[in-house]
Amino acid sequence: MSIKLDNILSAVNEAQKNSKKRKFEESMEVIVNLKGIDLKKGGKQLNVDVTLPHAFGEGVKVAIIASGNFAFRARDAGAAQVLEPADVERYETDKDGAKALAEEMNFFIAQADLMPLVGRVLGPFLGPRGKMPRPVPPNTDLKKLLSEFSTSVKLRMRKTLVIQAKIGKRSMESKKVAENIQAVVNILERNLEKGMQNIDEIYTKTTMGPAIKITI
């Protein structure tokens, strides 16, 4: 069973209150320490996307890999970058460019029949970062899909039992930040092998503020 929203809200309020005023807009973050997962013995790693109930204007960048009319619709939908097959092939001899692309874009979408090309050329750069494209059929509603990605964050665990993600801005209403954290915890509960039993501690903080523990 997930944690109570009131418990999260109390910690969010404290984190916002205890953080000093900065000259920039701080983000709100959630930090989840896990337990009971032995990564050295093949324990399940985690790489999932969660759609938050409240957007916070982080400027999520989504690249779409497509051809023909699909590429035209991708541009019309407002993708941050549209790569056609010839664009992808050029990255075979531009490793630095491929690495920069993988770092710059938050998410990737690919026309399903182009996945073999994407896997061969960009897979070595996207795979280790947990950013392999979501394959979609040509009739996908791209505007709707991009809207979903605009409120998404990636939860990823690889070498340590810690998951950290931005889930809001300090200036956001505290309840909205709390509801975003609750959405993250709910996804973790569903994706961890033992659910909440794999969660040790949960904290929230502003970018440069102290970490406040959330009562589980």
* CATH number of the domain enclosing 136: 3.40.50.790
Average of per-residue pLDDT across 146-169: 86
Closest CA to 59 of 169, 200, 181: 169
Sheet (strand 212-214) strand order: 162-169, 27-34, 199-206, 212-214
Judge if 66 and 119 occupy the same domain.
Answer: yes
Query: Span 178-185, mean pLDDT?
Result: 95
Residues 87 and 133 in one domain: yes
pLDDT score of 109: 95
For the stretch 182-206, pLDDT in tens is: 999 999 999 998 999 999 999 999 9
Residue 20's pLDDT band (cuts 50, 70, 90):
confident
Give the pLDDT score at 140. Answer: 92
The CATH number that applies at residue 16 is 3.30.190.20
Instruction: Give the residue from 149, 170, 194 where a domain finishes.
Output: 149
Alpha helical stretches, state H, the chain: 5-18, 68-77, 85-90, 95-104, 115-121, 123-126, 142-149, 174-191
What pLDDT sits at residue 157? 82
Amino acid at 61: K
Statement to judge: residues 166 and 205 lie in one domain: yes
Q: What is the rounded distance in angstroms from the CA atom of residue 65 to the CA atom of residue 132?
A: 11
User: What is the structure's pLDDT at 80?
Assistant: 93
Q: What is the mean pLDDT of residues 48-64?
A: 84
Domain endpoint, select from 149, 167, 184: 149
Q: How confident is the model at residue 158 (pLDDT cuts 50, 70, 90)?
A: confident
Determine the pLDDT at residue 133. Answer: 94
Q: Is 6 exposed, middle or buried (0-12, 13-18, 19+ CB in 10 A)?
A: exposed
Please tell me the distance from the alpha carbon of residue 72 to that of residue 25, in angstroms, as a whole number.
36
- Choosing from 149, 165, 180, the residue where a domain stops is 149
Residue 16 has pLDDT above 70, yes or no: yes
Measured CA to CA in angstroms, residue 48 lies from 79, 93, 111, 154, 157 at distances of 21, 30, 20, 6, 9
Whole-number pLDDT of residue 212:
95
Could you give the percent of the chain with pLDDT greater than 90? 62
pLDDT of residue 43 exceeding 90, the answer is: no
- The answer on pLDDT for 25 being more than 90 is no
Question: Is residue 39 over pLDDT 90?
Answer: no
Q: What is the pLDDT of residues 81-115, one digit of tens each?
A: 999 999 999 999 999 999 999 999 989 999 999 99
Bridge-partner residues for 27, per DSSP?
169
Same domain, 68 and 128: yes
What span, in angstroms and rounded, lies between the C-alpha atoms of 143 and 74? 8
Query: What range defines the domain where residue 113 resides?
Result: 62-149
